[in-house]
Amino acid sequence: MSIKFIGTITGTKGFFGGLIVQNLPISIKDIKEKSIVKIGFSENFSEDFILVSFNNFNAECTIYLEGITSKEQGFKLKEKGIFVDDSDIVFTDKKSFLPEDLVGCLVYNHKNKNLIGIINDVIELPANDVWQVKTQEGELPVPAIDEVIKSIDIKNKRIEISLLDGLSDLLNL
Query: Do 60 and 8 belong together in one domain?
Result: yes
CATH number for the domain spanning 57: value is 2.40.30.60
CATH number for the domain spanning 138: value is 2.30.30.240
Average pLDDT over residues 3-21: 91
Burial class (CB in 10 A: 0-12, 13-18, 19+), 122: middle
Query: Do 58 and 112 belong together in one domain?
Result: no
Residue 147 has pLDDT above 80, yes or no: yes
Query: Do 110 and 156 belong together in one domain?
Result: yes
Average pLDDT over residues 103-124: 92
Query: Do 62 and 29 belong together in one domain?
Result: yes
Specify the pLDDT at position 90: 85
Specify the pLDDT at position 37: 95
Domain with 157, as residue range(s), is 99-170
**pLDDT tens, residue by residue, 47-91:** 999 999 999 876 569 999 999 999 999 999 999 999 999 889 887
Rounded CA separation 105/85 (Å): 21
Specify the pLDDT at position 94: 57
Taking the whole predicted model, whether its pTM rises above 0.85 is answered as no
Quote the number of domains for the chain: 2
